[in-house]
Structure 1
Amino acid sequence: MSLREKQMIERRHRILDAAERLIRKTGGTDFSVRTLASVAEVAPATPFNLFSSKEALLYALLSRSLDTIISEGLKFKSPNRLFHIVEAATNAVDMFARDPEFMRPLYRVLLGVSDDVHRPRFMERSIGYWKTAVATIPDQKLLSTERQRNFLTAAIQAQFLGLLEFWVHQEFDDDTFRQHSVYGVLSNIMGLLDSENKEQMLPLFQKVIEGLQHFEW
């Protein structure tokens, strides 16, 4: 890698770090690019030169947060693969809940800004998270084809994004977000499991219905 390329990467990181600090400080993403450049200590034109637009910059920040969710959210504790899909949901919720001052305003961008270029790319990576989680489900007759697994993946992602919107707008607290996420995953998969695996899932499903607060794997 050339010195110029290293410097460009360093400036990108510096700008993204500055944007994160501004989001935490202001509680939103309405800051100007000129303000961002000042906080990042770069020339006013540098953010545009490196990211092309403010929307692209914010989606780069979203992508960076997704990197963490993907790398950490797919680390499973349960020795039983059957529960990994549920862990994927609770791990994701926990990462949002640990940093609401940053994650709430940042993800309002995803939920509120129409972008024909950057949003599809982000959503493709996001559905990859759930596709990996769905792939951990032990072989089931009703999940034996790629088409069936893709339908399940899309259903779980859509359900999670809907719950995320409630949380982002503070209509759900952390516990409610977590409980509904687990309930949503279980509701999507229970009817697809064979009798033996369904029997294993029933205690957790009952716990969710009764009011899940926390679940140790």
Structure 2
Amino acid sequence: MTKAPTPSLRDRNRLLARDVVLDAAERLLCADPTASFSMRALAADAGVGFATPFNHFGSKNAIMQALSGRLIERMAAAFEAQAPAGDATDRVLAMGAIAVAHLLGQPDVHRAVVGSLGVASATPGAVMVQSRALWALALGDREGLSDDARAAETVLATNLAVAFRGCLSFWTAGEIDDRHLHGMVEANMLTTVLGFAAIDRRQAVLLRLEEQTTDQGPQGVRQSGWP
């Protein structure tokens, strides 16, 4: 196996500076989740020159996009550490639970981060690509999916990313509260996977979906006891 080249000192310093700025942005969001901090305040908190955040990210919105990417990386790392068992549906539901747990770890901060993704930008971000990769990771070897779904893995991963983003959009808008977020995510994951499930797996997915939507709460999802 070919050994990956060692990053140059310049590259290592660049990555370190980016992390320092993102760490500072997270601290400022914890103090004020409205994300009203200025770039000057960000540079001061990070202990870097005023131009450094601009040099590495270009704009405040790009910094928020990078925080979203960092959040997705943490979700993926937690999923790989837990290595949930089961087929593709089980793994997708496990990823949904892990993702929601991360979001609710700092709900105000993550509402600000997710909410910033809806801001129009001249330069498209990479969140869609990152989210699709997250759900492709969850799908794994696609066990329990139909043969057609195996050929359409990218389509399913994309649909899961879109369904998840839809849930988060309503959550950031306050139309889904913290208690109902996991139920809404799980119901959407089940509905999305259902169209790709193998014939012998569809009944189990339907039963799980029926359980999830029984005894619906005031916001249209089951009150599953999620914190």
TM-score by length of 1: 0.84
Within 5 Å, which residues of 2 pair with 1:70-149?
A: 70-73=76-79, 75-111=82-118, 113-119=119-125, 121-138=126-143, 139-146=145-152, 149=153
Please identify which structure carries the higher helix content.
1
Provide the rounded CA distance (Å) in 2 between the counterparts of 1:78 and 1:86.
11
Give the aligned residue type for 1:125.
Q
The answer as to 2:204 corresponding to 1:200 is yes
Deviations 1:25-72 (A, max 9, x none): 111222111111111122222222232322322222222122112222
Larger deviation: 127-136 or 20-29?
127-136
Number of residue pairs aligned between Structure 1 and Structure 2: 211
Give the aligned residue type for 2:104.
A
Q: Contact between 2:88 and 2:140, CA under 8 Å: does it hold in 1?
A: no
Q: Contact between 2:43 and 2:53, CA under 8 Å: does it hold in 1?
A: yes
**What percentage of residue pairs aligned between the two structures are identical?**
25
Structure with bigger RCO (C-alpha 8 Å, 6+ apart):
1
Provide the rounded CA distance (Å) in 2 between the counterparts of 1:6 and 1:150.
32
Provide the rounded CA distance (Å) in 1 between the counterparts of 2:150 and 2:51.
52
Structure 1 unaligned residues grouped into runs of 5+: none
CA RMSD of aligned residues (A): 2.4
Deviation, structure 1 residue 4? 5.0
The answer as to 2:59 corresponding to 1:53 is yes
Q: Contact between 2:75 and 2:99, CA under 8 Å: does it hold in 1?
A: yes
Structure 2 residue aligned with 1:34: 40
